[in-house]
Amino acid sequence: MPTGLRCIVAMIVTLLFSGCVSVGSTPVRMLPVGSKVQVNQELSAVGGARISIQYGRVMPRRQITLVDPHCQFYLYRSQEEMRDPVVVKPGVFTVKRTFQRRDYAWAEGLQLAFFTASGDGDPTRHPTTIMELSSDEQPEVKDLRCAIWGTTYIEGYLTIEQMQATLGDLVKLIVVTDSG
């Protein structure tokens, strides 16, 4: 199948599935604006623009177990910097904004019947909580995203407790409360 046609088919499939997404009526807990993300030790990865964490340790992105909770720090980086190691130093980041969305992504190794010949993979739901971060010391750190790859059988976003368990001792989520 020509590349252009594959892209059109992928967009149509994504649009069809996006109309089927439902978010329950129960409110989902997210870190409130003003909460803190405390990095307790230096985190680094080989290159690119993100650092992946799962099971309380930094993992190469391609070794993430997609069906288990995982988090990623995203950084602003120039094209030239993409080859350099990615580093987030110990420090405290303030949560500027938090939101949730269901990303669609190509999952390597999962395939729909009409994509098997091309090997492009399967468009899969990815319930993601995105925490936009701010730090004067590390302005390149854009956000922290925590997610679990989903199917029609896995619904919902990670709770704050699940995110903290995923991050382990590397990162502490400090929730602000309205009382005070």
pLDDT per residue as tens digits for the range 128-147: 899 999 999 999 999 999 98
In percent, the amount of the chain with pLDDT more than 90 equals 43
Residue 78 CB contacts under 8 Å (≥ 6 apart), including other chains? none
Residue 7 forms part of a structural domain: no
136 phi and psi, to 5 degrees? -65, -35
Range of the domain at 74: 29-174
Residue 179 forms part of a structural domain: no
Residue 19 forms part of a structural domain: no
Residue 125 forms part of a structural domain: yes
State how many domains the chain has. Answer: 1
Position 22 scores a pLDDT of: 34
Residue 17 forms part of a structural domain: no
Q: What is residue 150's DSSP assignment?
A: B
Residue 16 forms part of a structural domain: no
CA distance 30 to 70: 16
Q: Is the pLDDT of residue 18 over 90?
A: no
**Span 159-170, mean pLDDT?**
94
Residue 157 forms part of a structural domain: yes
What is the pTM (predicted TM-score) of this model? 0.71
Least reliable range by pLDDT among 24-33, 80-89, 158-167: 24-33
Position 167 scores a pLDDT of: 97
Residue 4 forms part of a structural domain: no
